Amino acid sequence: MRLSVFLLRIFQILLPLAILATTYLYLYPVFQGCAFPEAKGAETAVSRGEQAPFRLLALADPQLEGDTSIHDARWGSLERIQRTLEGNLDFEQLCRDVQSLFQEDVPQAFRSYRKRLDLWGNDLYLAHVFRSVKWWTDPTHVVVLGDLLGSQWIGDEEFWRRTERFWDVVYRGGSKVEESIMDADTTEVLGADKRWRERIVAVAGNHDVGYAGDLDDHRVKRFEEAFGRVNWEVRFRLDEAKANQNANLDYVAFETPTPTPELRLTVLNSMNLDEPAKHAELRQASLDFLDRKLHQERLTEDTGTVLLTHIPLFKESGICVDGPFFDHFEGHHGGGIKEQNHLSHDVSTSILNGVVGPERRHKAIILNGHDHEGCQTYHSRANKTLGISEQDEHTSQEHWQVQNYYSPEPHTGGFGVREITVRSTMGEFGGNAGLLSAWWDNDTREWKFDYESCICGVQHIWWAVHVLDIVEIALGIGALMAFLSEDISRPRAGRVTITKKTA
């Protein structure tokens, strides 16, 4: 069998598989039906197929790695071999150097180059997830919920290299939220500024700025320079025409006009809310922001809150994969928080009380990351229906109960807050992307939220498909070149060689 025929047959066998695999990989949001939840009224959709006015694409914990995970190939054995050959030839030393070359230097070089290839592929994988989901689902806003980078311990040079990869490779086309927006004390019309589709809201995580025990001013400043403020807020109001589009006409005609519904997007630095902290003034800045935005400001009943942070709220063991955990530095290193899985019970209670307001009238949802497996919970306030006597009600009003959001048991209490810990977008966790919808329900006169996930699949699938495509292209080129080579060397049909006979 000719080589060209052999290569062509393998090419033909693999071609359907390559086409199907590549098509699925690049159109997986379409095949999976990934979409933001539709805006729904009290019982049915407001109008069939209507998109929610606020659609947030939520990505968590990409953790871009870099030079700290790469061990450079040094090839020390080659230098020793060269010195041995140039000097007095020592055969035994030469044998030891050659043995060291193949037992140490070559494997180390292989691991180094493999890791570089892995980092390159990981960037492209994360970019593929972001690009594919964003293209198909059409979000109005995008957030990365902390741990943008892989380590808070890196130096400035490496920090800026990873930052460049973040903006130019992984989230190419995205842009940092402008300082003028973070500083503005105004309210935008939701959907009016189309540039929000390209802006990326960045939340500070422990691998970006550190935990309370090692978070310092330098790390915060470089994060804010690269990605934006660690504490800030922006507010959106509904277009008044859209807000009343499906409202009850009698209600609109005869009731006192109500304020236009507003939705606030609050970015909270949760990395130093607990103590002990290395820098008390930085912790106080975060606490002051929390108190000012969630407790002191008086909001109308028509205001909803989307709180974006990194560390999940407190919950008992068994509800999510990560249970409560705190670790601290040694005393001679300051004794601050070295690691934590959740916020403390007191800080969590303060946040929950703040987002719902003192009269429990504000609708809110909390999105965070940190727990790579992801989790969805429901926090509800205890009340008299849970066995609390009237005389004790005032002392227990800050007591919250938490359960899995999809628990078969009904959500306890009459008022609660949904918390979504978004599963990591890293390949190990399937390249997850969260899809949060928020809309104003004119029937119930309140903000409503819903959430779905879109999973790409582990990074090995991405690698396998592209390796298959490369092999298929190589087979096609090889078959063509083999055919041309065989064609050139093949005798031409019709060519006759005449030899002259001599007497």
In the prediction, which pLDDT does 250 show? 45
User: How many CB atoms neighbour CB 356 within 10 A?
Assistant: 21
| Cα 383 to Cα 15: distance, rounded to the nearest angstrom | 64
In the prediction, which pLDDT does 500 show? 57
Choose among 405, 404, 460: nearest CA to 430: 460
In the prediction, which pLDDT does 74 show? 65
Torsion of CA 157, 163, 164, 169, to 10 degrees: 140
In the prediction, which pLDDT does 50 show? 84
Q: pLDDT class for 21, splitting at 50, 70, 90?
A: very high
203-230 residue pLDDT tens: 999 999 999 999 999 999 999 999 999 9
pTM, full prediction: 0.86
373-427 residue pLDDT tens: 999 999 998 654 444 444 444 444 558 999 999 866 666 555 899 999 999 999 9
In the prediction, which pLDDT does 69 show? 57
Token pair belonging to 456: 């790409």
Token pair belonging to 314: 């407190």
% of the chain beyond a pLDDT of 90: 67
Mean pLDDT along residues 35-53: 73
% of the chain beyond a pLDDT of 70: 79
In the prediction, which pLDDT does 233 show? 97
